[in-house]
Amino acid sequence: MTTADAGLAGKAVIDPRAWGDLRFLYLAQRLDLASPEEAIGMTARIWAWQGGAHTDDVPAYVVPAAVIIALLDDRWPAALVACGLARRERCHDGAPGLYMSGCVPLVRLATRDVRAARAGSRAAAANARARRDGAGG
């Protein structure tokens, strides 16, 4: 991830279908969480990492297991697989990882939306500078 893309970290889009997905109930029960909503919120930390790390050159569809453990804890990789929310795959660099089921459109959406917002902000700032510079001369 480049310095310019570092700001993408922390952005997650939760698909509305997640709220009724029983796999999150199972995940909450497996990990002794208070509710499926807590499981969704904690899983969103993984999606946020994916949104920040994803590039066209190095897609982040497969999340390194070490990242999941660092974001949450060492119980999460196995629990996500057991609940059908992820499957074991290798990362682009060969490290063990998890392909997060159903997240590919979410990662693309979050990355695209944040980049579009940044581009819009840059354009608005350029327009404001142009108006300011034009008004002064």
Amino acid occupying residue 23: R
What is the Cα–Cα distance from 115 to 29, expressed in whole angstroms?
A: 36
pLDDT value of position 102: 62
pTM of the prediction? 0.68
- Within the chain, strands assigned E span 62-64, 86-90, 96-100
Cα 80 to chain centroid, rounded:
15
Helix (H, G, I), strand (E, B) or coil at 63: strand
Per-residue pLDDT of the chain (137 residues; tens, 9 = 90+): 333 333 345 567 788 888 889 999 999 999 999 999 999 999 989 988 887 777 778 777 889 999 999 999 999 999 999 999 999 999 888 999 999 886 554 545 555 555 666 667 777 778 878 888 876 55
